[in-house]
Structure 1
Amino acid sequence: MESENLKDVSSLAREKYNFYQNKLGYTIYTLLAGSYCSIGMAFAYNAASGFYASPSLSGISNLIMGIAFALSFTLITFAGSELFTGNVFVITVGALSKKITFKNAISILIFCYIGNLMGASIMGAIISMSGVMSNTAGEMLETFCLTKISLPIHQLFLRGVMCNVLVCLGTWMASKIKSDIARMTALLWVVAGFVTSGYEHSIANAGLFTMNALSNSIPPGYMQGVLKNMCFVTLGNIVGGALIVACGYWFANRRTSESN
């Protein structure tokens, strides 16, 4: 049923590989995607801080964060950039369809991931130094970051899986939708879904941890907790995007694609 759409995604993977040959251009695009995640997170925390501070409204603060963080994915999709989590789906489909080799797929994703981390961290530092992550937003940021680093490994992994299932479903739907308004609506739903639910996005976390480290006092063991979070959330993001969404749709439509 989705074989034609999968062909489009595999062709997109080949285009991404061709663009990857321009290392400077591709690096800039990965830095931009990471920075957009930090910009969206700063917006989300400030938008939700007023609700978080009010006991009667605190229950909807996560929903407000999810809606506001959709800014990041709107920028990534419409302004143009290369985000690791969405690329896990696209590049995996391209490798399964033999548009690119698995060796090239791994190389692209590693390069993209490193660039995203750098972009998110640099922008996180800029945002923190601007002073906007203070008062209630800063308190909220500190609380959420300390919670993230204290979660057990299996929860970090599974939250990473569920996050990128939703992100990659958003990427998948956006590739099929022609109307820009409809694409924005689809992105809003998936982003609100993973943020409100408390799932974990590795690139967004990189920006959050940087902002918190520069805006608040960090406790002993903070960096070890950050490393634990990033490792297992990233692994979960890969499994959610590659094994569940990409492999799921590709194998379900494999016979149809071959017959065509």
Structure 2
Amino acid sequence: MPRDNAFDAYSPREIAGRVKEFCVVKAQIPLLSLSMLGMLAGAFIGLGALMFTLVASDAGLGFAASRLLGGLGFSLGLVLVTVAGAELFTGNNLLAMGWADGCVSTRQVLRNWVVVCSANFIGAAGLAVLVWLSGHAGLNEGAVGRAAVRIAMAKAQLPMAEAFFRGVLCNVLVCMAVWMALSGRSVTDKVLTIVFPITAFVAAGFEHSIANMYFFPLAMLLGAPIGAADMARNLVPVIAGNLAGGSVLVALVYYVIYIRVGHQVSGLPPAGLGE
């Protein structure tokens, strides 16, 4: 149906249709491209984490101001992923909508998630190495490096159940940011829809698995008393929480609201079923 105003945002129902299309496209990306785009996304999120750390290193800011400004800085990561183009594991949890509708297979979803998550880790950890080599941690008389270590230590000490639920809440907001960005028709639209949810999850202290893939390697390079086991103890529940929040509480909820109900009303089976 033609729209009266080509500058209007897409409606939520139209966004659901766009997400289905994006699921099919993402499921078919060749392995090399998928891996390289995943590494870019890991590095982009690492840059957002770098900005957060820079703000957190300023002892003159109050708690709320530090969290809000840090969240605003972290938004750079998802803006880069969305506008420049990259494959981010947490955002790709929306592939669960295509899987539920039958237009993307279980194998395709798992392939995307495993490859992208692994590539995100390479990109995030690789950026951490570059940041360490650059001497960035020495800024503000070493306060930036101390902030990076402090952030990673706090994450390493999180109880696993708490890390899981922080991961759930984080990816609800991240996937809502991706969902709303698909409503936009311009770069300005996309940036504005991304900034508020991302700032909110960072300010609230929720856990983003890919950001943590930057924080832990950097802190270890800076001599923090943490190791691979501490990183794994955080990443396993956070990744599980991110999956639950993005795929279940966003993708599958919107699937039921806009796609499944639509099939029932039209009398047509979901794509791929009954064939």
Q: TM-score, normalised by structure 2?
A: 0.87
Q: 2:46 maps to which residue?
A: 38
Tell me, in whole angstroms, the C-alpha distance in 1 between the residues paired with 2:112 and 2:79: 22
Q: How far apart, in 1, do the equivalents of 2:255 and 2:134 lie?
A: 45
Counterpart check, 1:114 vs 2:118? yes
Q: Give, in whole Å, the separation in 2 of the partners of 1:9 and 1:242.
A: 12
* Structure 2 equivalent of residue 68 of structure 1: 73
**Secondary structure class of the residue paired with 1:209:** helix
- For residues 197 and 76 of structure 2, the distance between their equivalents in structure 1, rounded to whole angstroms, comes to 12
> How far 1:4 sits from its partner (Å)?
3.4
What's the % identity of the aligned pairs? 29
1:244 deviates by: 0.7
* Equivalent residue letter for 2:121: L
> Root-mean-square deviation (CA), in Å?
1.5
* Residues in 1 aligned to 2:255 and 2:174: alpha-carbon distance in whole angstroms: 17
How far off its partner does 1:233 sit?
A: 0.3
Shift of residue 58, structure 1, vs aligned partner: 4.2
Instruction: Give the whole-Å Cα distance in 2 for the aligned partners of 1:16 and 1:245.
Output: 18
1:11 touches 1:99 (CA, 8 Å); kept in 2? no
What does the per-residue CA deviation read over 1:186-207, in whole Å, with 9 as the maximum and x for residues that have no partner? 1110110111100000001001
Higher Cα Rg, which structure: 2
Distance 1:244 1:59 in 2: 28
Tell me the distance in 1 between the aligned counterparts of 2:13 and 2:96: 15
How many residues are aligned here? 252
Structure 1 residue runs of 5 or longer lacking an equivalent are: none
- State the one-letter code of the partner of 1:81: A
Matched residue type, 1:42:
L
Q: Name the CA distance, whole Å, in 2 between partners of 1:184 and 1:257.
A: 32
Residue pair 2:35, 2:119 contacting (<8 A) in 1 also: yes
TM-score, length of structure 1 as denominator length = 0.92
Cα separation, 2, equivalents of 1:64 and 1:49: 12
| Farther-moved stretch of structure 1 (244-253 vs 155-164) | 244-253
Question: Do the aligned partners of 2:56 and 2:147 also contact (CA within 8 Å) in 1?
Answer: no
| Aligned pairs for 1:213-252 within 5 A | 213-215=220-222, 217-219=223-225, 222-252=227-257
1:14 aligns with 2:24: yes
| Aligned position for 2:178 | 171
Counterpart among 261, 264, 275 of residue 255 in structure 1: 261
Give the whole-Å Cα distance in 2 for the aligned partners of 1:239 and 1:152. 18
Name the residue aligned to 1:210: 217
Shift of 1:5: 2.4
